[in-house]
């Protein structure tokens, strides 16, 4: 990696569970070299952390705002966090 490394946590609201949101996020993260994780929450949202080069992380945040075709994203909360040095991406 050559650019600025950042970390963003997103909470995605809407019809986002049961539509392959997490698995698609994992594939997109792998494609863009982004580490982190995505999980369903008991509240019915998807929470995800994206860590990597700024441009790549911003692409994943953009993905979260759209989701896979079956999703209906109503809103996305975005939080800047301290980089932890994650490796790989897990859809838990």
Q: Judge contact between 89 and 32, C-beta under 8 A.
A: no
Q: Strand runs (DSSP E) across 16-71, as ranges?
A: 35-40, 46-53
As a whole number of angstroms, the longest Cα–Cα distance in the chain is: 37
Active site residues: 22, 40
């Amino acid at each position: 990696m050559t650019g600025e490394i950042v970390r963003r946590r997103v909470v995605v609201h809407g019809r986002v569970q049961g539509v392959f949101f997490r698995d698609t996020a994992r594939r997109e993260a792998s494609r863009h070299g982004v580490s982190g994780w995505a999980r369903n929450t008991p509240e019915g949202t998807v929470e995800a952390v994206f860590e990597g080069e700024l441009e790549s992380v911003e692409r994943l945040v953009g993905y979260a705002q759209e989701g896979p075709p079956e999703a209906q994203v109503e809103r996305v909360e975005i939080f800047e966090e301290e980089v932890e040095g994650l490796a790989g991406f897990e859809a838990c």
